[in-house]
Amino acid sequence: MKQGAEFDPATPLTPTGNLRRRQLFSKLAEYGATAAAVIAVGVLAIVTYTVFTRGAAALDLDFLIKGAPDGIGPELVGTAIIVAIATAMAMPVGVLIALYLTEYAGNRAAHLVKLTMDVMNGLPSIIIGLFIFGLMVNHHKQSGFAGSVALAIIMLPLIARGTQEVLQLVPVHQREAADALGVSRWRAVVGVVLPNAIGGIATATVLSVARAAGETAPLIFASSVFDPGSYYMNPFEALPNVSVRIYSLSEEANPEGFTEAWGLSMILISFILFASLGARALLARSKRKMAS
Amino acid sequence: MTDLDSLPPLDTSAPPQRVRLRTEPLPGLADALTESSNGHWQVAPEIVFDSQDVSVFYGPKQALTGVNLAIRRGQVTALIGPSGCGKTTFLRSLNRMNDSVPAFRIEGQILYHGHDIYGSGVDQVEVRRRIGMVFQKPNPFPKSIYDNVAWAPRNLGMRAGLDERVEKALRGAALWDEVKDRIKDSALGLSGGQQQRLCIARAIAIEPDVLLLDEPASALDPIATGAIEELVHTLKGRFTIVIVTHNMQQAARVADRTAFFSLESSQVGAVGTLIEFDDTTRIFGDPRDPRTRDYVNGRFG
């Protein structure tokens, strides 16, 4: 066969044939992808900007510590209690599920549990709210605790999957070192595997807390009939909380209520941003530590 | 368990004792004695591991076939051979480290002081408590030097005299003088050679019976390697040591007995096979098998 029949290798190295068209296409794809990324960042920026500019007007010390109509103190405390109880329930179970997945389960069981966690993660929160309503509220009464259980269900897959991912990063040679010392499996897990992964576990928990703090639908079922005027601490009563308060204020035809709702939103979004960024920093630090 | 230090020192590094007997040995004694080629009776060395026709498979792939080899108490036994010949597989089978490898399967028997390592009712944690292991790459825990050594004794309930135990283990691993002033510092700050000696200290802190060393010096520079070899010399006798090495000079320097493994082709592809097992001087000086001779003379591998 004759060589070099397709082109003359001596011509200048400028685009020939359909190369111009292919390059144009490639450029278009690049711009499209860049634009999509910019839009995503832009949406977050616009939402944050809007919430902060409108909410800032409401913000002062009274707003943070007093009850309605001046402030949102009871909601902040109520949400803190509900989320704290939810975390106390979801974290140990989530970490144990992650340990089951990485340390004990066979391939098939692990696959099934992972799938379950992913499906749970995708469950609409209103369905979880309805479930808790049927289980704990209907024929009883609303309570912050019922809300906590609902939030714990939402947090569980996030903590389990997040923890499982960092547990898998714990190097095999660390596990082997522990195994070779004739120490039982559980001791090896507690003494070597978990300490290696502690940063990642904290990250997963913080991210799930940020997610749970803003969940509204389950709390509308579980803890929405409350008096926003004073503080309530008993989790077996309905507790004032941030997300339901934002919802009910925005339903009222009251301009001051809108400002208050924006202010509350600002606090919620600041917390979520702060928690997420903090969690990332924590994870980056623990990954560096693991790599060294 | 017996504290090894409370026993009178046992110099098992010396060659087997020769006993001249004029009559036939007593009936019970016969098992313990063997007749050597020149008609002398000698005390048979105590066997720690007796591998009987051991074959190892990973799924459909056979990694080792028909290994028969007896490892003597208090001696250093080296496993040498080219890459992929199954020497590490064999080593890891001795303390059941391969159990966690998916599709691992073993045939034949490995007897440890007469007990089948893979027998029913045998607990792998108990196996590893008696048979310690040091890996190719130093793998200290991200804890302090002290906690690295103290971790296993603490978990095994050996809390009494923990400080002394840690010091003794670090001295035993020839590391004490280098780290005694910074024992609470992170182990990750040590050099590679120091980390590997720390791993040895960690392994001997629980006073195992056997130490398995899987190419312990392959990730280290020549000076650190020399220190490890020196250490193997001082530890033998106190522990039975099995060492895998790809470095023939190392085997010649540290081992009493040497096993040469090679890849032999069979119907199922290349399979790791024990070619020859004998005194180290014999393996390197006057091997029986031409394949051993070619390998130790550097003709292949």
- pLDDT band at A77, cuts 50/70/90? very high
How far is it, in rounded angstroms, from Cα B70 to Cα B49? 6
Residue B4 in this model has a pLDDT that exceeds 70? no
Arithmetic mean of pLDDT over chain B: 86
* Interface predicted TM-score of the whole assembly (ipTM), two decimals: 0.77
Residue A1 in this model has a pLDDT that exceeds 50? no
Report pLDDT for A285: 79
Nearest chain A residue to B154 by CA: give it. A183
Q: Is B74 left (phi over 0), alpha (psi -120 to 50) or beta?
A: left
Burial of A1 (0-12, 13-18, 19+ CB in 10 A): exposed
**B83-115: per-residue pLDDT in tens?**
889 999 999 999 999 988 888 999 999 999 999
For range A73-91, the mean pLDDT = 94
Q: Which chain A residues touch B122 with a CB distance below 8 Å?
A: none
How far is it, in rounded angstroms, from Cα A249 to Cα A230? 16
Note whether A180 contacts B: Cβ–Cβ < 8 A: yes
The H or E element containing residue B277 is strand B269-279
- pLDDT band at B36, cuts 50/70/90? low
* Cross-chain residue pair B128–A195, CB shorter than 8 Å: no
Give the number of beta-carbon pairs within 8 Å between A and B. 68
* Cross-chain residue pair B141–A180, CB shorter than 8 Å: no
Q: Which chain B residues touch A292 with a CB distance below 8 Å?
A: 142, 188
Residue A47 in this model has a pLDDT that exceeds 90? yes
* Cross-chain residue pair A173–B137, CB shorter than 8 Å: yes
Residue B249 in this model has a pLDDT that exceeds 70? yes
Residue B7 in this model has a pLDDT that exceeds 60? no
Report pLDDT for B11: 58
Residues of chain B with pLDDT > 70, as a percent, come to 85
Report pLDDT for A279: 84
Peptide bond into A92 cis (omega under 30): no
How far is it, in rounded angstroms, from Cα B159 to Cα A213? 45
- Pick among A102, A169, A181, A286 to test the B interface (most B CBs inside 10 A): A181
Report pLDDT for A283: 77
pTM for the whole structure: 0.75
Residue B196 in this model has a pLDDT that exceeds 90? yes
Of A145 and B21, more confident? A145
For range A255-260, the mean pLDDT = 84
- pLDDT band at A197, cuts 50/70/90? confident
How far is it, in rounded angstroms, from Cα A249 to Cα B197? 67
Q: Which chain B residues touch A177 with a CB distance below 8 Å?
A: 135, 139-141, 199, 202
Q: Which chain A residues touch B134 with a CB distance below 8 Å?
A: 180
Nearest chain B residue to A290 by CA: give it. B142
Q: Which chain A residues touch B132 with a CB distance below 8 Å?
A: 180-182
**A140-175: per-residue pLDDT in tens?**
899 999 999 999 999 999 999 999 998 988 888 898
CB nearest to B156's CB, from A171, A183, A192: A183
Report pLDDT for A112: 95
Beta bridge partners of B131: B210
Q: Which two tokens mark A222?
A: 């579980």
CB nearest to A180's CB, from B97, B140, B141: B97
Q: How many helices (H) and strands (E) does chain A have?
A: 12, 0
* Cross-chain residue pair B142–A180, CB shorter than 8 Å: no
* Cross-chain residue pair A184–B126, CB shorter than 8 Å: no
Of B242 and A58, more confident? B242
CB nearest to B139's CB, from A173, A187, A290: A173
What is the gyration radius of the CA atoms in chain A, in angstroms? 26
Arithmetic mean of pLDDT over chain A: 89
Sheet hosting strand B18-19, strand order edge to edge: B18-19, B41-43, B33-35
Nearest chain B residue to A177 by CA: give it. B139
Residues of chain B with pLDDT > 90, as a percent, come to 63
**B102-156: per-residue pLDDT in tens?**
889 999 999 999 999 999 999 989 999 999 999 999 999 988 999 999 999 999 9
Note whether A30 contacts B: Cβ–Cβ < 8 A: no
The H or E element containing residue A153 is helix A144-169
Q: Which chain B residues touch A173 with a CB distance below 8 Å?
A: 135, 137, 139
Strands annotated E in B139-222: 210-214
Residues of chain A with pLDDT > 70, as a percent, come to 97
**B51-77: per-residue pLDDT in tens?**
999 999 999 899 999 999 999 999 999
For range A93-110, the mean pLDDT = 92
Nearest by Cα to B272 from B48, B89, B125, B138: B89
Q: Is the dihedral of CA B35, B39, B43, B49 positive or negative?
A: negative
What is the least distance, in Å, from the CA of A202 to any CA of chain B? 18
Nearest chain A residue to B94 by CA: give it. A180
